[in-house]
């Protein structure tokens, strides 16, 4: 039996969540600010975008597709933590901890796979 979930726009205490008012402009601002923290080459490698596309995102000239956002999240634990914090999935200040924990678990899994 499946579950049905509905986005009510409220948190567990019944107050409006600030992240329910996300707009395209908010997302463009967030991704462009975060993109400027990375080199163009790193973002090209992580997202598969061209140099021009990465530069447009960094300058806030264009948005980001769901596929590109997903690749960035999957390819960069730091950005994944920042995004989770921005969307309200984790509390402010926990992004660094979440990224560090993810890196640790990934390293352990990779070591075990190599037999070390």
Is residue 70 included in any domain, yes or no?
yes
CA 1 to chain centre: 31
Are 81 and 67 members of one domain? no
Is residue 89 included in any domain, yes or no?
yes
- Total-model pTM: 0.66
Average predicted confidence (pLDDT) for the chain: 81
CA dihedral (69, 75, 76, 81) positive or negative: positive
The total domain count for the chain is: 2
Higher pLDDT, 9 or 98: 98
Is residue 81 included in any domain, yes or no?
yes
Are 52 and 29 members of one domain? yes
Is residue 8 included in any domain, yes or no?
no
Is residue 103 included in any domain, yes or no?
yes
Q: How confident is the model at residue 4 (pLDDT cuts 50, 70, 90)?
A: very low
Structural domain including 88 reads 77-116
């Amino acid at each position: 039996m499946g579950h049905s979930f509905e986005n009510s726009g409220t948190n567990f205490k019944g107050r409006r969540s600030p992240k329910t008012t996300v707009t395209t402009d908010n997302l463009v601002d967030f991704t462009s600010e975060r993109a400027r923290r990375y080199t163009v080459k790193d973002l090209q490698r992580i997202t598969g975008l061209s140099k021009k596309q990465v530069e447009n995102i960094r300058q806030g000239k264009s948005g980001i597709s769901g596929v590109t956002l997903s690749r960035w999240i999957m390819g960069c634990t730091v950005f994944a933590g920042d995004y989770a914090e921005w969307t309200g999935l984790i509390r402010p200040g926990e992004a660094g901890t979440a990224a560090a924990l993810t890196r640790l678990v990934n390293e352990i899994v990779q070591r075990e796979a190599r037999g070390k």
